[in-house]
Amino acid sequence: MMTGQAAKAENGHAVAVDSIDLRREFESVDIASVLDQLDKELIGLAPVKTRIREIASLLLVERIRQKMALATAFPTLHMSFTGNPGTGKTTVALKMAGILHRLGFVRRGHVISVTRDDLVGQYIGHTAPKTKEILKKAMGGVLFIDEAYYLYRPENERDYGQEAIEILLQVMESQREDLVVILAGYADRMEKFFQSNPGFRSRVAHHIDFPDYSNDELLAIAELMLQAQNYHFAAKARDAFIRYIAARKTQPLFSNARSIRNALDRIRLRQANRIVSDLDRTLTSENVMSIEAEDVLASRVFAAAGATEIGA
Amino acid sequence: MRITQGCFSFLPDLTDEQISAQVQYCLEKGWAVNIEFTDDPHPRNTYWEMWGLPMFDLRDAAGIMKELADCRRVYGDRYIRLSGFDSSHGWESVRISFIVNRPKEEPGFRLDRQEAAGRNVRYSTHAHAATRPEGERYG
């Protein structure tokens, strides 16, 4: 029955319609399930979620306007995601592709994730084919450029990055309906990048800023990650991990969820080591799933935090 | 004389929308799509020039349509065809090939008869366009 409806909507595309059942339209694209999934799988990031909701609503309305033959031009969908490391920019980009695909603004919904190396060549005449190749691959989907500011290297005026930027800008403008470009990077450097490439700023419609996570959110993320791998914290280990987060945050090179993931990987190592160190016993599934306080407390982070306290 | 080679050649020329749908079909089958061009319309001329490299790993026809538009801008006065190459084991060959661009005027072929020994006659076809040097044959 759904397909019948969809086909009807598809046929009605050419002819302008006067009225559209909003609820049915909303349900037919099933955007709610993507947004719910976003809420469930992504902890925190309230401003980002609000923004995505807004964009999704705008696109839904735009879609309806297209059916009513009111839409004048294809909406500009290029985005820029700024935020500190590990705040979920790549994860959200993947979800974004899903949302755009459901709403019919990208045809295939795949994501091509690239960095400077994939776009910029090493000698004269290498850059253009390389960039075009990537753009061709991304057609019908989303091109995610991580750390986009590396494309522009003002200190070297013969840098080939500028060539890649020019090709990108041209395609972003002329083939808006074929692909969506998402630029990502740290806020301050992206700001500098946009300042030196005003063409980019004007072609990017949505600037989304990813805030850092609070301690509680980081804990929730850790528990979600553990749950996905069939582990869980014992009560004392949870308390220890709360202290771990607070200590780790004060140390350099803290990268939000990524640091948490790495910490969990090391904790799993220590847990495995602890289990294996005593061979003469029978293990239950609870034994191998549970992370104990000692696994967490053995971390170097506590030693370093302690040292600074003594030092102070 | 209208050249008929490859798929769909007895149909009216495909529109861009139809070409795009065929390309999408090829991509969904996992074939590499190639753009080739020539100005020698002889049916035995199988080696056409390639426009760029074969296009692997694409998901959407838009990229190929862009390349085709570029190729038409440069070689719009020649024959251009698209082919889909299937690299899967056991096939490893071109699965589809169709003309997507042709010169405005197609002068056709002349039939040469050569009287050979006895009462034998050898026939050969000669494209009128091919009398002129390559690159100056159409337009």
Among chain A residues, CA nearest to B52: A129
Percent of chain A as helix, strand, coil, to the nearest 5: 60, 10, 30
- State the pLDDT at residue A8: 44
Token readout for B35 is 């753009």
Chain A residues inside the 8 Å CB shell of B62:
107, 139-140, 175, 178-179
User: Is some CB atom of chain B closer than 8 A to the CB atom of A181?
Assistant: no
Distance from CA of B22 to the nearest CA of A (A): 16
How does DSSP classify residue A30? T
Spatial separation of the C-alpha atoms in residues A91 and A38, rounded to whole Å: 10
Distance from CA of A107 to the nearest CA of B (A): 8
Distance from CA of B85 to the nearest CA of A (A): 17
Angle between helices A31-41 and A22-29 (to 10 degrees): 60
Classify A254 as helix, strand or coil. Answer: coil
Element (H, E) at A81: strand A79-83
Per-residue pLDDT of chain B (139 residues; tens, 9 = 90+): 899 999 999 999 999 999 999 999 999 999 999 999 999 999 899 889 999 889 988 999 999 999 999 999 999 999 999 999 999 999 999 999 999 999 999 999 999 999 999 999 999 999 999 999 988 888 7
Burial of B121 (0-12, 13-18, 19+ CB in 10 A): exposed
Q: pLDDT (tens digit, 9 = 90+) per residue, A148-192?
A: 999 988 888 788 898 999 999 999 988 888 999 999 999 899 999
Classify A240 as helix, strand or coil. Answer: helix
- DSSP H helices, A139-253, are 161-174, 187-196, 198-203, 215-228, 235-250
- State the pLDDT at residue A251: 87
Q: Which of A129, A135, A141 sits opposite B59 (nearest CB)?
A: A141
- State the pLDDT at residue A219: 92
ipTM of the complex: 0.78
Is the pLDDT at A4 greater than 60? The verdict is no
Chain B residues inside the 8 Å CB shell of A101:
none
Spatial contact of A147 and A161, defined as CB atoms under 8 Å apart:
no
Is the pLDDT at A7 greater than 50? The verdict is no
Is the pLDDT at A20 greater than 80? The verdict is no
Contact A135 B63 (CB under 8 A): yes
Query: Stretch A245-270: mean pLDDT, rounded?
Result: 90
Spatial contact of A96 and A78, defined as CB atoms under 8 Å apart:
no
Give the model's confidence band at A3: pLDDT under 50 very low, under 70 low, under 90 confident, else very high.
very low
Spatial separation of the C-alpha atoms in residues A84 and B76, rounded to whole Å: 50
Distance from CA of A52 to the nearest CA of B (A): 25
The pTM of the full predicted model, rounded to 2 decimals, is 0.79
Mean pLDDT of chain B: 93
Q: Which of B55, B57, B62 sits opposite A140 (nearest CB)?
A: B62
Contacts of A66 (CB under 8 A, 6+ apart): A13
Is the pLDDT at A311 greater than 50? The verdict is no
Give the model's confidence band at A15: pLDDT under 50 very low, under 70 low, under 90 confident, else very high.
low
Query: Stretch A111-133: mean pLDDT, rounded?
Result: 92
Beta bridge partners of B122: B114
User: Is some CB atom of chain B closer than 8 A to the CB atom of A86?
Assistant: no
Chain A residues inside the 8 Å CB shell of B58:
136-137, 139
Which string of b and e fits A78-87 if b means at least 16 CB within 10 Å?
A: bbbbbbbebb
Token readout for B25 is 């079909």
Angle between helices A127-138 and A161-174 (to 10 degrees): 30
User: Is some CB atom of chain A closer than 8 A to the CB atom of B89?
Assistant: no
Chain B residues inside the 8 Å CB shell of A141:
59-60
User: Is some CB atom of chain A closer than 8 A to the CB atom of B55?
Assistant: yes
Query: Stretch A200-227: mean pLDDT, rounded?
Result: 90
Stronger pLDDT, A270 or A75, i.e. the higher one = A270
Chain B residues inside the 8 Å CB shell of A136:
55, 58, 63-64, 66-67
Burial of A188 (0-12, 13-18, 19+ CB in 10 A): exposed
Q: pLDDT (tens digit, 9 = 90+) per residue, A44-85?
A: 888 888 888 888 888 888 888 888 888 777 788 899 999 988
Distance from CA of A137 to the nearest CA of B (A): 5
A-B contacts at Cβ under 8 angstroms = 36
How does DSSP classify residue A149? G
